[in-house]
Chain A
Amino acid sequence: AQKITQTQPGMFVQEKEAVTLDCTYDTSDPSYGLFWYKQPSSGEMIFLIYQGSYDQQNATEGRYSLNFQKARKSANLVISASQLGDSAMYFCAMRALFFGNEKLTFGTGTRLTIIP
């Protein structure tokens, strides 16, 4: 079984500052993938970034980067130069990478508010 823990229920950040959203995970699967999603008030889950457990380098996608520390079982999301449009709920999720497994396991999320 997999478990995702997000310990920050809410964060307030000044516009243009960088922000780190914490995510720790627990799994006994040897191979897994970690995902971050953004959920604005409209409800749709928007994919941001992916990190495979076998990847040697941290993933980056534009202003998003994933600080992956496998030994500590953490996969923190870093947003650089935050913008007002970044205000939303952010969810960390994982999927064990074995044949036939399609289930994504999500954390409880962090509500990020960007202050002008």
Chain B
Amino acid sequence: DTGVSQNPRHKITKRGQNVTFRCDPISEHNRLYWYRQTLGQGPEFLTYFQNEAQLEKSRLLSDRFSAERPKGSFSTLEIQRTEQGDSAMYLCASSPRVRGDGETQYFGPGTRLLVL
């Protein structure tokens, strides 16, 4: 079973540009999550999908951020008009349809974004 994959692994962009990240969850995992991790901090929850439905969004997810999971498989996270404060690691995670309380979210390697 392959793990969660994220592309690209690194992205450098100029302020004001748009960027899009992709996450491929573990096969048959119906839940998918996005987190943001800034330097020296733990991950912060951004949003969560169950199949193709976006069920929760953090207030951290400003209007410039949009996430989609159109077919209930892979997901994309787009940031429009990037700002230097968007520089962070963006982590994706997935979890299975049937699980116990102790089932973890399985994390990908992250996409590290640097906005110049």
A residues near B (Cβ < 8 Å) are 4, 33, 35, 37, 42-47, 50, 52, 91, 93, 97, 100, 102-109
Contact = CB atoms under 8 A, between A and B. Distances in A.
Interface in B95-116: 95, 101-102, 104-110, 112
Contacts of B33: 102, 104
Contacts, number: 57
Interface string B37-57: 000111111001000000110
B48 A106 contact: no
A102 B106 CA distance: 13
B21 to A, nearest CB: 13
A105 B101 contact: no
B42 A108 contact: yes
Interface SS of chain B: helix, strand, loop or mixed? strand
Contacts of B45: 103-105
B42 A4 contact: yes
B89 A108 contact: no
A52 B101 contact: yes
Which of B33, B40, B95, B101 gathers most chain A CB within 10 Å? B101
B99 to A, nearest CB: 11
A40 to B, nearest CB: 10
Contacts of A33: 101-102
Given A91-B42, A105-B45, A42 B104 contact: no
Interface residues of B, number: 27
B104 A50 contact: yes
B34 to A, nearest CB: 11
A33 B33 CA distance: 18
Interface string B6-50: 000000000000000000000000010101000011111100100
A108 B43 contact: no
B40 A35 contact: no
A33 B95 CA distance: 15
B110 A44 contact: yes
8 contacts: A43-B91, A44-B107, A45-B93, A102-B31, A103-B45, A104-B35, A105-B45, A106-B42
A52 B89 contact: no
Contacts of B104: 35, 47, 50
